[in-house]
Chains A and B, each alone.
Chain A
Amino acid sequence: QKEVEQNSGPLSVPEGAIASLNCTYSDRGSQSFFWYRQYSGKSPELIMSIYSNGDKEDGRFTAQLNKASQYVSLLIRDSQPSDSATYLCAVMSGTYKYIFGTGTRLKVLA
């Protein structure tokens, strides 16, 4: 079992819709969770971090964490074509080990 799992996609949503990206992790002791956005040919860019159960909102982005289910998600409201990218989930496992999922490719259709 991979330590951090994401559906590779592509996930296609129409412009203006809500995009829902999901991630599961295997280390029950993980405490810190992050979402990165990576445009093609570019480096990953940190967009959200979440540390406690529940929702965390930042503009059009909402991160959701459920530690009991070992599940973290990212919702993007009012999706725009410029949101088309690969979204990487990262989980802090142990004191410093930062494990990335393989990413979900999102396509927002105009």
Chain B
Amino acid sequence: DARVTQTPRHKVTEMGQEVTMRCQPILGHNTVFWYRQTMMQGLELLAYFRNRAPLDDSGMPKDRFSAEMPDATLATLKIQPSEPRDSAVYFCASGLEQGTGKYFGPGTRLTVT
């Protein structure tokens, strides 16, 4: 049963600390997305990769967020320094091609105090 995996599932950290979230997409999927979900904003697209190349990160605060895909089995989202307003659930999703449905990981619930 192929699934997107994410680690950690929960993270509590203090303001100013670095946070790194990891995602393993479904093997063979060539598109990877990072989303952030809050009650107020819903699901916001942060970054998009196709064949490991970053094609869109316009949804990310550039001064503190960075997303990378060092290989086909790992995508990372880093926040440095973290702020309380970054508290949210961060989802990774992967898919086969443009125009097809995406499959979400379980999410990382981030709390910044």
Contact = CB atoms under 8 A, between A and B. Distances in A.
Interface residues of B, number: 21
Interface of B: 31, 33, 35, 42-43, 45, 48, 50, 55-56, 91, 98-107
Interface residues of A, number: 21
B31 A44 contact: no
Contacts, number: 43
Given A32-B99, A44-B104, A98 B42 contact: no
A10 B43 CA distance: 18
Q: Which 8 A-B pairs have the closest CB atoms?
A: A102-B42, A43-B104, A100-B43, A46-B101, A32-B99, A96-B98, A44-B104, A49-B101
A96 B50 contact: yes
Nearest to A102: B42
14 contacts: A31-B99, A42-B106, A43-B91, A43-B104, A43-B107, A44-B104, A45-B104, A88-B43, A96-B50, A97-B48, A98-B33, A99-B45, A102-B42, A103-B42
Contacts of A97: 45, 48, 56
Contact of B42 (A34, A46, A49, A100): A100
Contacts of A45: 104
A92 B104 contact: no
Contacts of B98: 92, 95-96
B78 to A, nearest CB: 21
Interface string A63-100: 00000000000000000000000001000100111111
B53 to A, nearest CB: 12
